[in-house]
A and B are shown apart, each in its own frame.
Chain A
């Protein structure tokens, strides 16, 4: 008996030992196999990279391949709101005024214009043609602008036309569209009447909501205008010749475009990829499948190793913590907001946490690229110097407690988008305010649309928010916190702010107007309407053979209108 039992145990042990050996052997084989596969793959990838087998640039056909962030929902300029639509429309359409390579305004469909206190006149050029050969006329603009403001169109960007007389009343359904203050004096003269003086109107009309639409063609599409490549007319440097929904687009050179000498040098631009995945785009670029891509900070070591020429540009937008100023919100208390302002430092956020080389630590609502009277606005009106002071912050917090009559602050809701950068910033702030002020912040992470909806409803205490420019003037930021602006999601309401904004909107003397913006900037800091986080920039790489490609702060984020292929380097 005893013998057998010991044999059983031995056999068992032997079994486990041999099984263990076998297992170890299998594991070794598996690791060796994986290593071999990885080695082969990396060799293959290296080969592909060095020989540049990709077709990002096709020198023979003078064409390039690019990636779009997402597919445009539709190409009707009146209803477009997203960045991708903006990119495509800015290449296939042209407004009254256009931009040159250095983002300076140049004549577009209008050959000259005049802006007065009560209105503006645009003289249209003769040779501006639609892609079917018919001239672009002043009637096309009248029709388009009336359509944008028609409440039935439900254009989200209709507000950008509000400087035109009666525009707001029409958009809210109080007046018929025919009363709009715009009139075609013949085919080639467009007369605009203003609701109030609008000295920056020339900057507005290059925005895509101001693009023309031809009435007879629009009617012939039976409501499918902009839904397909053949459901549109084009007047820009390129025309859309093919649109396979969900997969590719093809833009070709517009033979009828009037300014061919200065724009639209490529025969063809293919948008072969639609992806938001930045890693996928990096790999496409590495393999020579697309001509440009942008880089996030974790990719920079790779880019340096590949010896790419990294470029940067400001994307124009400014990001900030916005408070909810509605009644019954703790964030309505000035001392509370002041405490939060004093407890943070945007340089730490940008330099240590986000680590994005193209970002500039936020100091004000007005980004560095905006122009003042004669040079940069920030230079003429330096932002209030901010110094982090936790001691003082705690004093203000104690005052806030007294004023609100509470012992303990309840958890506050911090609304944020779901992009990696905003999540990172939100988590950083959560701990920062917990450590420095003992505040508990709950993160409400939402996708972009849902975040906007919650901001609109006012369902937040603090939101990580941002604002991109619609036109190249300080006012695109300056009127954000007026009591009547619907984009003022925190419902900040101050008579002093409103009075400065009114001056900024209608003052014609540049110095006085900029002074008003200076006061707005001071008030934004002193009243802690927002806490600036950063000005967003982008690090990117372009195929060195493609010249004069631009990333823009205003208008399309990527601009191939001036791009051409240069083969001299080879």
Chain B
């Protein structure tokens, strides 16, 4: 036992700290931010969201390609297609060449993407010929491929194919027609390699060449670069995705912001005032919930005088704001009702706080967590709604793209050119997933009760 001296019984001097806060105090938001940062999923989602915004806003500056421009020479090309082309002379109509050497089915000149010129002699017993093109050799089934033309006499023994020629190998066949124009098994076949070509005029028109550049026939040139490929009209997918993002994110972020703002105001008034006013206001909210969205979308479209061929994005925004606020309003009203009865509100009131102070200092900040979470979940659902409405043709007007309308176009050629569907669908999925995960993370970070539970 140690000795007890008189000094131990001296009163402490004032000013000496009894408790020391060893770290700087954290505000609610700082704390939430720290815990959000610790959540990797949420953080990654946050970066994705920021990336998407940059893609939308900065993208068109870095990739200034007109999303409506049609590159007719490069239609429905997947990314990474070879772009080398040889310069050839401008197209001239061709009507066979009587002095062409050789016999049988043969080429008048090497096959190019501009034209394939075939010539042949009358097949035995033919009353006319049919020209076919195939991706495979004919084989024992007499599967000649795509019928390109039918010539019902033996005078015309040439054919010029200009239909959608792609670099690669085609098998051309000429089949003899019977007396009634029916297909026979008498045929000749020819394997043709197609070379990608372009003309000087086309290259200038597509902006690949300066006017007056001296290029000779036979020179090599690179066609326009499309990093994500092109769509069914040869439009650049990357430029269209950026332009589409503008519409999708405008609706996706604009509409939820507006209707959540309205919902918060409406709900807090109802909750705070309470009583009869609350009853009336909430019954009105119930009424709005029951209104069918699609019908109102159409009604607004007509009411705003949006004619055919004009964008339906504005009525879509209005319809969303007018019809989707009740969910937020209900949530906020519930929160306010709860908070109103809390002890600290009574204490504050006893200390003389006025109503605006109570609302802005105590009530709304305490509902903000809920509101933010609602907002982040409303964004993906709004993006989905936009995509859906554009998918069914209620949204943007061509040629303006949106991710939804791009998916709609892409699905038609899903089996042959999947990239036209995959890219917009990927962007929709990614955006929706990112906002959902971010919302999840925010909910965890902002919920004060979860603070010590991990």
Given the known inter-chain contacts A304-B145, A309-B142, A539-B146, please indicate yes or no for A12 contacting B39, CB distance below 8 A. Answer: yes
CB–CB B416/A307 < 8 A: no
Q: Are B136 and A301 in contact (CB under 8 A)?
A: no
Cβ of A428 within 8 Å of any chain B Cβ, yes or no, is yes
Interface string of B49-73 (1 = CB under 8 A from A): 0000000000000000000111011
Interface residues of A in 534-565 (CB under 8 A from B): 539
Taking the closest CB of chain B, its distance from the CB of A331, in whole angstroms, is 16
**Which chain B residues numbered 136 to 184 have a C-beta less than 8 Å away from chain A?**
136, 139, 141-148, 150, 162-164, 180-181, 183
Within 8 A of A (CB), among B31-55: 35, 38-41
Q: Are the CB atoms of B454 and A11 closer together than 8 Å?
A: yes
CB-defined contacts of B125 to chain A, threshold 8 Å: none
* B-contacting 9-mer, from A106-114, A186-194, A344-352, A491-499: A344-352
A444 close to B40 (CB less than 8 A): no
Instruction: Decide if A357 is an interface residue (CB 8 Å cutoff).
Output: yes
Please tell me if B120 contacts chain A, counting CB pairs below 8 Å.
no
The verdict on B399 contacting chain A, using a C-beta distance below 8 Å, is yes
Interface residues on chain B, size class = 35 or more
Shortest B232–chain A CB gap in Å is 7
Partner of B399, one of A9, A11, A302, A430: A430
A13-21, A80-88, A230-238 - interface stretch: A13-21
When the two chains form the complex, which single residue of B39, B75, B310, B393 contacts A353, counting CB atoms closer than 8 Å? B75
A347 engages B162 (CB within 8 Å): yes
- In the docked arrangement, what's the CA distance between A353 and B133, Å? 18
Q: Tell whether A442 is near chain B: CB-to-CB under 8 Å.
A: yes
Task: From known contacts A20-B41, A301-B135, infer whether A539 and B75 are also in contact, taking CB-CB under 8 Å.
Answer: no
Shortest Cβ gap from B362 to chain A (Å): 28
Chain A proximity of B5: nearest CB distance (Å): 33
Contacts of A185 in B (CB 8 A): none
- Contact check, B143 vs A443: say whether CB atoms are below 8 A apart: no
B311 smallest CB distance to A (angstroms): 10
Q: Which of B150, B412, B415, B454 contacts A312 (CB 8 A)?
A: B150
How many Å from the CB of B230 to the closest CB on chain A?
A: 12
Collect the chain A residues with CB atoms within 8 Å of residue B18's CB.
none
Q: Name the A residues within 8 Å of B393 (CB-CB).
A: 445
- Tell which of B40, B134, B146, B162 touches A20, judged by Cβ atoms closer than 8 Å: B40
Q: In this complex, what residue of B is CB-closest to A436?
A: B205
A260 sits at the interface (CB 8 A):
no
Whether the pair A357, B146 counts as a contact (CB closer than 8 A) is yes
Map CB proximity to A onto B310-349 as digits: 1 under 8 Å, 0 otherwise: 1000000000000000000000000000000000000000
Mask of A431-470 contacts with B, CB within 8 angstroms, 1/0: 1101100000111111000000000000000000000000
Are the C-beta atoms of B162 and A351 separated by less than 8 Å? yes
Interface of B: prevailing SS: loop
A215 to chain B, nearest CB (A): 41
Measured CB to CB, the closest approach of chain A to B178, in angstroms, equals: 12
Measured in the bound complex, the distance between the Cα atoms of B67 and A434 in whole Å is 13
- Is B308 among interface residues, defined by CB-CB distance under 8 A? yes
A312/B147 in contact, CB under 8 A: yes
B295 to chain A, nearest CB (A): 19
A414 to B308, CA, bound (A): 9
Nearest CB in chain B: distance from A235 CB, A: 27
**Assembly CA distance A445 to B304 (angstroms):** 19
Known contacts: A11-B454, A353-B233, A357-B147. The answer to whether A305 contacts B308 by CB under 8 A is no
Q: How far is the CA of A7 from the CA of B22 in the complex (A)?
A: 18
Decide if A406 is an interface residue (CB 8 Å cutoff): no
Most buried by B among A351, A352, A443: A352
A196 to B145, CA, bound (A): 49
- Whether A15 contacts B141 in the complex (CB less than 8 A), given A298-B415, A305-B136, A413-B309, comes out as no
Give the residues in chain A near B135, CB-CB below 8 Å.
301, 304-305
Known: A302-B415, A308-B143, A446-B308. A427 touches B398 (CB 8 A): yes
**What residues of chain A lie closer than 8 Å to B454, measured between beta carbons?**
8, 11-12, 15
Q: Within the complex, which residue of B41, B398, B399 is in contact with A16, where a contact is CB–CB below 8 Å?
A: B41
Complex: A311 Cα to B146 Cα, angstroms: 8
State whether A301 and B416 are in contact (beta carbons under 8 Å apart), knowing that A431-B70, A442-B307 are contacts in the complex.
Answer: yes
On chain A, the number of residues with a Cβ less than 8 Å from chain B's Cβ atoms is 56
CA of A301 to CA of B146, assembled, Å:
9
Which residue on A lies nearest to B146, using beta carbons?
A357
Closest to A418 in B: B393
Partner of A434, one of B35, B68, B141: B68
Which B residue sits closest to A16, measured CB to CB? B40
B388 to chain A, nearest CB (A): 18
**Does any Cβ of A come within 8 Å of B209's Cβ?**
no
Which residues of chain A from 279 to 337 have a CB within 8 Å of any chain B CB? 297-298, 300-305, 307-312
Collect the chain B residues with CB atoms within 8 Å of residue A350's CB: 163
Q: Which residues of A contact B399 (CB under 8 A)?
A: 427, 430-431
In the complex, which residues of chain A have a beta carbon less than 8 angstroms from the beta carbon of B150? 312
Residues of A close to B232: CB separation below 8 A: 424
In the assembled complex, which residues on chain B have CB atoms less than 8 Å from the CB atom of A300? 146
A442 near B397 (CB under 8 angstroms)?
yes
Are A428 and B70 in contact, with the CB atoms below 8 A?
yes
Name the A residues within 8 Å of B381 (CB-CB). none
Task: Decide yes or no whether B413 CB sits under 8 A from chain A.
Answer: yes
State how many angstroms separate the Cβ of A501 from the closest Cβ of chain B.
30
* A446 CB contacts on chain B under 8 angstroms: 308
- The answer to whether A521 has its CB under 8 Å from any CB of chain B is no
**In contact, B22 and A309 (Cβ under 8 angstroms):** no
A432 to B162, CA, bound (A): 20
Closest residue of B by beta carbon distance from A426: B398
B147 contacts A358, C-beta separation under 8 Å: yes
Least CB distance, A282 to chain B, in whole angstroms: 10
Interface residues of B (CB under 8 A from A): 22, 35, 38-41, 68-70, 72-73, 75, 133-136, 139, 141-148, 150, 162-164, 180-181, 183, 232-233, 307-310, 393, 397-399, 412-413, 415-416, 454
13 contacts between A and B (CB under 8 A): A301-B416, A304-B134, A307-B139, A309-B183, A350-B163, A353-B75, A355-B164, A420-B412, A430-B399, A431-B69, A431-B233, A434-B68, A442-B310
Additional pairs, 14, CB under 8 Å, beyond known A298-B412, A353-B75, A442-B309? A12-B454, A17-B40, A102-B180, A301-B416, A305-B135, A310-B146, A352-B164, A357-B148, A413-B307, A413-B308, A420-B412, A443-B308, A444-B308, A445-B308
